[in-house]
Structure 1
Amino acid sequence: MVPLKLLLIRHGQSQGNVDGRLEGWHSTPLTILGQQQAIALGQRLAKIDWDPTHMYCSPLLRATATLAGLLTGFAGQSQVMPVPLPNRIPLRQGSVPIQLREDLKELNQGIFNGLTWAEAQTIAPDLCHHLETCLDWHPIPQAETPVQGARRAQQFVDHLLGQHRNGDRVWVISHHGLLQQMIAALMGCDRPWGLAIDHTALFEFWLDRDRWYDPGANRFNTALWQIKRWNDSHHLSQLD
């Protein structure tokens, strides 16, 4: 049995990360380091023959630029592929489709999208004080609720499992907050866990799609559900 293989990838370092912005749905480009991170990841995936059959990516610039850099490194090229990317791209195993999906965007930060914390404190001082002093969830105007974010992540996982079968090899490029929710959904958790995810880090899941919905003892068979990489960013060591 050849499993369905899912590779979840966080985007590279963005300018918003460097500026300390609550990026959310705000779109900023990668830094030079972020481009190098993406290229290094592509080179590593090519070296270990991790060829995708399908690719999904958030439409936000820091994610699409990461995919462009990743493909550049994977192809052994020095010139970064331009953004926007085509709908399909030729790779070693043939033409591979790319889907940009709105449901892979970062969690929506509402009125805080794109702001630094200092800027957020200027426009909503009382709300920021509450967020700094209390761990209980508090709504941010126009932002997604945690339940909405979890539902969006679960719906995308359901889409993957509905569209793909054993033998497919899937790249998914997304963002820190949504990846936490997606990982929780894949692992059957009813809550996400706080997890510091490195830029361009990998989470690799292998699963038997044919038995995924079986209600019996197969659910507890660890040969069918395996985590091969967890927050793996070894490729970044070459950038030190």
Structure 2
Amino acid sequence: MEQGEDFSRDRLKLLFIRHAESVGNVERRMQGHADYELTARGRQQARQLAERLWAKGQPPSKVYSSPLKRAAQTAEILLAQRTSEPVLHPISIPTIEPTIEYAEELLEFQNGIFKGLTWDEARERYPELCADLEASPDWIPAPGAETLQDGRDRAERFIQRVLATHCNGETLWIVTHSWILQHLIAAMLGSDRTWHCSTKNTAVFEFWLERSRWTLPSNNPNRWNSDLWHIRRFNDTSHLQEF
């Protein structure tokens, strides 16, 4: 059953967004913390998403972004691009202009010696390590890289910080990167595994939750009440259908 407008206003809405196409994406580089700007196509992708979000009446009360250029530029375009069309729920528009907070927890995987390299370049520089990585599905750490536990821990920290700071009725846009996005989603769902999800640039994952009941004790049956927790969109790129 689909609830109406009151249900919409009584939830904390989290929109996790992968950044738009970057120069590093086009060059097929393992970007990590290397700082690549958006391509012209990427800027257009961000504008297309912005038009969709504003037209659907989903203005943010706050925007969180990775500080890396490809995410920061995406977030800036999302905020700057206003639609001239009337929104569906004018009452939800915040009276205070939303701001961007750049959060270190939202950085992409810190990939050590592979930072900014293509796979061919990595093979040339580190042939033995790359051969080991290609031969095994198990995690093999690269020198200087963070661990899987590091990534999951910072995702958990970010989710807990957001839930401690924001309440029902707010909408957050969270602009980040594909690798850490998988950990954020797993943390959001309370999963003890991190699942791979092939995510296109500017894909949106939208969660609505009843914040005031989020910390119910484990024996409270409402923790399994799906009316309180909704996945509204998962890996949605419908705004890019013309690309």
Report the TM-score, using the length of structure 1 for normalisation. 0.91
The whole-number CA distance in structure 1 between the counterparts of 2:102 and 2:82 is 19
Residue 94 of structure 1 deviates from its aligned partner by 2.9
Q: 1:9-28 deviations in whole A, cap 9, x for unaligned?
A: 00001110110100011110
> What are the residue-to-residue correspondences of 1:66-105 with 2, within 5 Å?
66-74=74-82, 93-105=95-107
The whole-number CA distance in structure 2 between the counterparts of 1:192 and 1:19 is 27
Unpaired runs of at least 5, structure 1:
77-90
1:56 aligned onto 2:35: no
Residue 139 of structure 1 deviates from its aligned partner by 1.0
Letter in 1 for 2:16: L
Aligned to 1:107: 109
1:168 aligned onto 2:170: yes
Contact 1:41–1:73 (CA under 8 A) maintained in structure 2: no
The whole-number CA distance in structure 2 between the counterparts of 1:222 and 1:50 is 22
Contact 1:39–1:74 (CA under 8 A) maintained in structure 2: no
- 3-state secondary structure, aligned to 2:187: helix
- 3-state secondary structure, aligned to 2:206: strand
Alignment equivalent of 2:44, drawn from 26, 32, 36: 36
CA pair 43-93 structure 1, distance change in 2 beyond 3 A: farther
1:183 aligned onto 2:179: no
Identity %: 44
Letter in 2 for 1:14: S
Aligned to 1:222: 226
Aligned to 2:239: 235
Unpaired runs of at least 5, structure 2:
1-6, 85-92
The whole-number CA distance in structure 1 between the counterparts of 2:159 and 2:110 is 19
Contact 1:39–1:71 (CA under 8 A) maintained in structure 2: no
Aligned to 1:205: 207
- 3-state secondary structure, aligned to 1:158: helix
The whole-number CA distance in structure 1 between the counterparts of 2:102 and 2:139 is 30
Residue 237 of structure 1 deviates from its aligned partner by 1.2
Alignment equivalent of 1:17, drawn from 20, 25, 35: 25
Q: Please provide the CA RMSD for this pair.
A: 1.3
Structure richer in strand, relative to its length: 1
Aligned to 1:87: none
Letter in 1 for 2:225: N
Residue 37 of structure 1 deviates from its aligned partner by 0.2
Report the TM-score, using the length of structure 2 for normalisation. 0.89
Q: 1:85-143 deviations in whole A, cap 9, x for unaligned?
A: xxxxxx87431121011111101111111111111112211110011110011111110
Aligned to 1:84: none
The whole-number CA distance in structure 2 between the counterparts of 1:143 and 1:174 is 19
Letter in 1 for 2:211: R
Aligned to 2:87: none
The whole-number CA distance in structure 1 between the counterparts of 2:238 and 2:225 is 29
- 3-state secondary structure, aligned to 2:168: coil
Q: 1:145-193 deviations in whole A, cap 9, x for unaligned?
A: 1111001101100111111111111010000000000000011111111
